[in-house]
Structure 1
Amino acid sequence: MSAVNQKSKRKTLTFTANYNFRKGAYLALTVNKTKGVMSYKKVKKSEINAEIIKELN
């Protein structure tokens, strides 16, 4: 999974959940450097900064 932080830096993460997300879904992740993804929530594309969307595409 490709992820982009608030400073528009791209990172590849491994993420598993007990939920099947639709293809192209956007998630806001809380990430701990040592533990990895701590939590997530689904967000709409319109809620995401335009620079981050540009970096993801």
Structure 2
Amino acid sequence: MKNCKKKEEIISTGSKLIIEKGYLNTSIQDITSKMGIAKGSFYTYFKSKDEFILTIIF
């Protein structure tokens, strides 16, 4: 359950940043810095930024 919560937090934070800055101007580092987590934590849930955006869309 904890893992699902972290993934949802990443999606929420990333979505907000993409709305504010746009997809191309939002980096993985932006998302992880905003959350205060290591960049590797992002890659535990998503293989790439493209996979991340597809998750948001679908």
TM-score, structure 1 normalization? 0.26
Q: Which has the higher strand share?
A: 1
Greater C-alpha Rg: 1
Q: Which has the higher helix share?
A: 2
